[in-house]
Structure 1
């Protein structure tokens, strides 16, 4: 009987643990377009990429959301503060014309500058490794 209880308890922990992992993963991969349509517009979406246009005014704050890896093109000078679930917050400025690689990220953003932020983000999907 004790062996049966050990196995049953182990299965229960595995199921609960897996559910928690799935819940954490789902919470950390929130689509910014669904969450903040006032800031994001989908300009192209196909099997390989999704291109997002982003605009934010000074003081605008986005809730926690995720992006896959891709490229970001700054269309205006802006300063952003980003907070992360498991890392210190960062503040950085971008200049019009900057082009940067972005690893996959989960963050919340705030436009802390005096100008409207405007950029295009090309999110990669289903890329061969």
Structure 2
């Protein structure tokens, strides 16, 4: 079963850009809405709105409150979340894709 958030939660996640190195997702929700379990690779997150969320990993959870304009690193993870605040969530995720050896050679040596 795929835990790709675009497939598990298409009402919240939209692909806004993708190439062989990155995928950019836009995430939106409203107060009281939840996601189902999904996973993200290593990513950079940029908040477009201020929000409060509860993130669940297994039986544990933590509450996160972020301002609009915050940017941060997120290590690969599996979780589900819920908007426990009074404002909608609006976020961009830049998901990093693994680089294969042939691509590394092209990056350092240039195309043939």
- TM-score, structure 2 length as denominator? 0.85
Tell me how far apart the structure 1 counterparts of residues 79 and 72 of structure 2 sit (CA, whole Å): 17
Structure 1 residue 36 corresponds to structure 2 residue 9: yes
Structure 1 residue 84 corresponds to structure 2 residue 63: no
**Greater share of residues in strand:** 2
Segments of structure 1 that go 5 or more residues without pairing to the other structure are 1-25
* SS across alignment from 2:80: strand
Segments of structure 2 that go 5 or more residues without pairing to the other structure are 105-112
RMSD: 1.6
Q: Which residue of 1 aligns with 2:91?
A: 119
Moved over 2 A (4+): none
The aligned runs of 1:7-18 (5 Å cut-off) are: none
Tell me how far apart the structure 2 counterparts of residues 64 and 36 of structure 1 sit (CA, whole Å): 9
Tell me how far apart the structure 2 counterparts of residues 46 and 109 of structure 1 sit (CA, whole Å): 27
Tell me which of 58, 63, 71 is aligned to 1:99: 71
Say which one has the larger Rg.
1
**Greater share of residues in helix:** 1
Q: Which residue of 1 aligns with 2:22?
A: 49
Tell me which of 110, 113, 117 is aligned to 2:82: 110
- TM-score, structure 1 length as denominator? 0.74
**Deviation, structure 1 residue 45:** 1.1
**Deviation, structure 1 residue 127:** 3.5
Tell me how far apart the structure 1 counterparts of residues 42 and 99 of structure 2 sit (CA, whole Å): 10
